[in-house]
Amino acid sequence: MNANANLTPSTSHYPTAPTAQRQESHTLSVLVDNEPGVLARVIGLFSGRGYNIESLTVSETEHQKHLSLITIVTTGTPMVIEQIKSQLDRLVPIHRVVDMTLTGTSIERELAMVKVRGKGEQRVEALRLADAFRARVIDATTESFIFEITGKSDKVEQFIELMLPLGLVEVARTGIAAIRRGPEGL
C-alpha cells in the first residue's frame, strides 16, 4: 500500500502513513478516582485515538479513598505505547499510570470459568486435565463441569484449547490483573 502511495501524488490533507513498526504488548496499571464516567473516559480515549485494548479489568481497590485500579493490556509501537501512557496521565481523575511490562517484575494473573459438557471417557479426561492444571471444579452435573482456573493468560489459553475437543461449551474470563513484586506499592 505504501509503495502505491509513493507512486501517485497524495491528494490527502495529511502526510502518508508511517511504515509499519514493531508492535509490543504492554500491561498498564492505572490508578483512578472511583467516580461516574471514569471508565468511559479511559475507553473513550482508546477508541477515539485508535488504540487497542486486549484486556481490561476494573475494580475499586481502596474504598475509603475512592480509588479504583484499571488494568489494561494494549498493543502498539513503542511510540504509541508512550503516547497511550501520557494521554492517560492527562485525564483529570487519573492518579498514576504504571507500565507493568517495563517494571519487569510484575505478576499477572487472570481467572477463567470454563464449562465443559461430555460423557464417559471424555468427561474423565477433562477432569484429569483440570487436575493437572490445578483447576477446581466449581459446578458439576452428570453431563457437565465448570472449572475455575487461575494463572497467567497463556496457561488459561492452553487449558481452554485442551478443553475444546472435550466438549467446551463456554468460557468466562476476568481479564488480567497485575501487581508488582516486592514490598513497594503502586
Long-range contacts of 126-130 (CB under 8 A, 24+ apart): 126/163, 126/166, 126/167, 129/159, 129/162, 129/163, 129/166, 130/159
104 binds another protein (CB under 8 A): no
Among 3, 4, 7, 13, binds another protein (CB under 8 A): 13
Among 1, 7, 12, 120, binds another protein (CB under 8 A): 12
| Shortest distance, position 145 Cβ to another protein, whole Å | 41
44 binds another protein (CB under 8 A): yes
Looking at 9-17, 99-107, 110-118, 121-129, which segment touches another protein (CB under 8 A)? 9-17
Among 1, 15, 154, 182, binds another protein (CB under 8 A): 15
Is residue 51 a contact partner of residue 84, using CB atoms and an 8 Å limit?
yes
14 binds another protein (CB under 8 A): yes
State the DSSP code for 157.
H
Residues lying near another protein in the complex (CB under 8 A) are found at 5, 9-16, 18, 31-33, 36-37, 40-41, 44, 48, 79, 82-83, 86-87, 89-96
